[in-house]
Amino acid sequence: MATRGHWGSNAGFILAAVGGAVGLGNLWGFAYSASQGGGAAFVVLYLLFVFFIGLPVLTAELVIGRHTGKSPVEAMLAVGGRRWKWLGFVFVIAGFGILSFYSVIMGWTGRLLVEFLRGTVPIDTAAHFGAISEGPGAIVAHLIGMLITVFVIIGGVQKGIERVSVVLMPVLFLLIAALAVWAATLSGAGPGYAFYLRPDLSQVFHTKTITGAAGQAFFSLSLGMGAMITYASYLSGRGNLAAQAGIIALSDTVVAFVGGLVTFPIIYHFGLQAEVSDSAIGALFIAVPRGFLSLGGGGQVVGVVFFLALYIAALTSGISLLEVVASALIDSLGWTRERAGWVAGGAIALGGIPGALSSDWVGFLFQLFGQVFLVFGGVMLALLVGYVWTAQARAELLKGFPSPALAEGWIWLLRTFVPVMLAITLFFAVLALGPVVSALLS
Ligand code: PHE
């Protein structure tokens, strides 16, 4: 069997993992949930969840990945024995399911990027989005996204994923920072910030807001489906995994927060509030482009920067999703990376076609795989590390982490708060499938 890939440097690993985490979910999902769920109060709640749920699970994934040096299915077998191997398959199915809708949204993003470049976005952005989001054009855009993703994967861990992440992530940070500075100059900036961050405690104590924040944090950090296990399996040595998890979680959260500082000034400046409350997707692909168009030539430049940032964010997340599926084929079936990349990518390209024909299907896949599957995976991982594979996990963490007391705190969270909160979140995520399914059937 071919030798496994590995990262060229710790920084390369961290940039790749941040690239996997920072995605479409950050640039819109977070700000949207915050605006609907109590502004600054939501932000505080979200930070608590990132710290007390996201960080422990992320650390658990990194510990499993580095210790086993295996892709999710084999890693679950190595850590939990035969009785846990199925969980690895659940991860692979989640990766398949998420990428099959994610790549469709990535396609919409790419389409708007090209149209802003060429200056051909029509004034009626709502009708335009309706036309490009479903049908042959959406299929082509989805396939192009999958093709780029496959090319990166088959390039290898170091020469493909790491090289792309090391170049694209700094570019992404610069683009987002530039957008935030530009947005601050808009006359709508003040009211936009005020709305985004208005501390409204009455919203925060709703079960929906609370479980929504937990679900959003999980999706945003790419947890519960083995993406972080897979990336950490290419690590060696004795680095401080808790610190690395902290850097990844912090970067992801900062980008999500700054994303809101970009979008809300735009919405208020151009008076797009009504369209935004309809749906997150509508805001991103209909309201924001309309705002840019009203600025003329300057708006075209901003449109290019905005959709380029979005595309980069989506691409690096897509790469981490495909890597979960491909690495399972490489490790479990002994396939070459080329073969695994093309077969997995090809299958997901086909599996994504229904989403390119119906955006209700995209919504359904997000709720099923992006919420239910991930949160379920998180519950299982917490129980596995908290109760079954605890001693080895502790020892692996302590290799690079000098505090036994904090390690105990980590295990305590994985035994108690994390699975309980995630089980409640799971319950509401399953309930939320109802409306999505009826939208699909209507
Ligand atoms: N974290 C990504 C985002 O915020 C989505 C994702 C989920 C990517 C799970 C990989 C695995 O858009």
Report CA(317)–ligand 1 centroid distance (Å).
6
Does the residue 286 lie in any domain? yes
In a domain, 422, yes or no: no
Q: Which atom of ligand 1 is nearest to the CA of 224?
A: 9
pLDDT average, residue stretch 11-32: 92
Residue nearest to atom 10 of ligand 1 (CA): 222
Show the CA angle centred on residue 284, arms to residues 53 and 263, nearest 5°: 75
Q: Determine, yes or no, domain membership for 400.
A: no
Domain count, the chain: 1
CB-CB contact of 153 with 348 (8 Å): no
* Across 84-109, average pLDDT: 98
Report the pocket of ligand 1 as residue ranges, CB < 6 Å: 20-21, 23-26, 98, 219-220, 222, 225, 227, 317, 320-321
- Structural domain boundaries, residue 56: 10-358
Q: Is 404 part of any domain?
A: no
In a domain, 393, yes or no: no
**Dist. CA 95 → ligand 1 center (Å):** 10
- Report yes or no: 59 and 245 within 8 Å, Cβ to Cβ: yes
From residue 360, how far is each of 37, 252, 298, 370, 435 by CA, in Å? 23, 27, 34, 14, 11
What does pTM read for this prediction? 0.95
- What does the pLDDT read at residue 1? 44
**Is there a domain that residue 181 lies in?**
yes
Please, which pLDDT band fits residue 205 given cuts at 50, 70 and 90? confident
Instruction: Identify each DSSP E strand in 299-370 by its residue range.
Output: none
Nearest CA to ligand 1 atom 9: 222
Q: Which of 108, 220, 253 to mutate to test the pocket of ligand 1 (most atoms within 8 A of CB)?
A: 220
For 36-80, the pLDDT digits (tens) are 787 888 888 999 999 999 999 999 999 999 999 999 999 999 999
Would you state the pLDDT for residue 278? Answer: 63
Q: How many whole angstroms separate alpha carbon 20 and alpha carbon 354?
A: 24
Judged by DSSP in three states, 192 sits in helix
Q: Report if residue 437 sits inside a domain.
A: no
Q: Give percent of the chain above pLDDT 70.
A: 98
Tell me: the pLDDT tens digits for 301-323? 999 999 999 999 999 999 999 99
Average pLDDT over residues 166-175: 97
CATH number at residue 44: 1.10.4160.10
- Asked whether residue 18 is assigned to any structural domain, the reply reads yes
Structure tokens at 310: 């979005």
Q: Each residue of 232-267: pLDDT tens digit?
A: 999 988 899 999 999 999 999 999 999 989 988 988
Please say whether the beta carbons of 333 and 73 come within 8 A: no
What pLDDT score was predicted for residue 276?
67
Q: Which of 89-98, 214-223, 259-268, 404-413 has the lowest mean pLDDT?
A: 259-268
Q: Give the span between the Cα atoms of 317 and 220, in whole angstroms.
A: 10
Q: How far is ligand 1, taken at its centre, from the CA of residue 247, in Å? A: 17
Buried b (16+ CB within 10 A) or exposed e, 241-257: bbebbeebbebbbebbb
**Cα of 418 from ligand 1 centre, angstroms:** 20
Question: What span, in angstroms and rounded, lies between the C-alpha atoms of 3 and 73?
Answer: 18
CA-nearest residue, atom 6 of ligand 1 = 222
Six-digit token pair at 83? 């009785």
Q: How high is the pLDDT of residue 331?
A: 95
Torsion over CA: 288, 293, 299, 302 (sign): positive
Is pLDDT of 137 > 80? yes
Name residue, tokens 């939501």.
42
Share of the chain above pLDDT 90, in %: 78
> Residue type at 322?
L
